[in-house]
Amino acid sequence: MPTMNLVPVTSDDYRLIAERKLPRALFDYIDGGAYGEVTLRRNVSDFQRFSPRQSVMRDVSGVDTKTTLVGAEANLPVALAPVGMCGMFARRAEAQAKRAADRAGIPFALSTVSICSLEEVATVSDIPFWFQLYMLRDRSVVREMLGRAWSVGVRTLVFTVDLAVVGERYRDTRNGIAGGAGAWGRFRSGLLSYLSHPRWLVDVGIKGKPHLFGNLAEYVPAATSLPEYREWVESQFDPSVTWKDIEWLRGIWNGKLIIKGVLTPEDAESAVQSGADAVVVSNHGGRQLDGVSSSIAALPAIAEHLEGRAEIMMDGGVRSGLDVFRAHALGASGVMIGRPWAYAVAARGETGVLSLMEAFRREMVVAMALSGATSVEGITPDNIQCEV
């Protein structure tokens, strides 16, 4: 007998609700990956290769999930990852997610291509948030955006390095987001799809305006639609970037620097040598080069290589508090989650994101208690075993 599904609990529960609520093209933008989506699936399935080692009859009456992430206190070793265009999934979604993150006591990272601007998100509270940026061809834009971020209290920069070129995402092509659709196709993916989702149309489509990349408005004032902003952003991605550019960035950014998008010990080493305080083991959620290693499979070798010389986080495939536990046991100080919070905000707004984080915390407490760990720092490789 199927369950009643009255109260969403897991990332998958929120995903199903988001799929019902969102126009198809928007849902597929969150949900999809590159090419055949092999890496996207591996990111999730490879977590099952690592099993927690149950250890009983320990005093676990005081399990504590508090920790620090890149120098900041956090109630859970989780940060909300930057998700582009998230303000199209719920009304002013980035601001809602920031409020949820504040309430949960975890970091929130704002995307360069967010709908809500740095300034709008900063009005949510005085609690600092992180900002994610790409290396753009126009370095003056990079300087100006860093200045804006600093002026609103951002002290931690997440710099994404795995987007020198944009991955081929077939779902976006089929839906017309990447262009190429005729008039009938644009009508089907646009107005017709919006009209078939009336609650989204009213709450987000009408009440959630303006639907522009808030952080870029002053740089592309002639753009009047998301496709025009998308075209500008993609034209600004710089395929000539090297680690020397990261050294330049380190020279002009006085806060913490996180390099996101490394999958090998060699690249992690280069990030540290360029001045990174932390690295994020990541394949961009399987949205770039399909077929590469899952993030969780790549994590142990990087953790062993760096040996505490920089903080290590990971993202990609994290769907539960048990996954957070696994990642920490394999060498990550914490994880970043993207799709889970995007599903949750699309499904239930701020309340959904907060409820999902509470579920993550409960799941992590159980995993810690039944493996004999009472603190995040007490989770070690001995708490996990690899299944062949």
Please pick, among 197, 211, 284, 328, the residue that the annotation labels catalytic.
Answer: 284
DSSP of 125-190, one letter per residue?
-SS--EEEE--BS-HHHHHHHHHHHHHTT--EEEEE-S-SS----HHHHHHTTTS---HHHHHIII
110 DSSP β-pair partners: 131
In 3D space, the residue among 371, 359, 379, 330 whose CA is nearest the CA of residue 11 turns out to be: 359
In 3D space, the residue among 143, 67, 132 whose CA is nearest the CA of residue 105 turns out to be: 67
* Token pair listed for 302: 């990087």
| Run of H or E including 337 | strand 334-337
Q: Is residue 21 within 8 Å of residue 200, measured between CB atoms? A: yes
258 DSSP β-pair partners: 158, 278
Phi, psi of 184 (to 5 degrees): -65, -40
- Report which DSSP code applies to 354: H
In 3D space, the residue among 77, 82, 131, 102 whose CA is nearest the CA of residue 341 turns out to be: 82
305 is catalytic: no
In 3D space, the residue among 338, 384, 370, 366 whose CA is nearest the CA of residue 11 turns out to be: 338
Three-state DSSP class for 260? strand
Q: What is the rounded CA–CA span in Å between residue 149 and residue 138?
A: 17
DSSP of 61-106, one letter per residue?
TT-B--EEETTEEESSSEEEPP-TTGGGTTTTHHHHHHHHHHHHT-
Question: Which residues are CB-contacts of 256 (< 8 A; sequence separation ≥ 6)?
Answer: 70, 71, 155, 156, 157, 277, 278
Residues marked as catalytic: 284
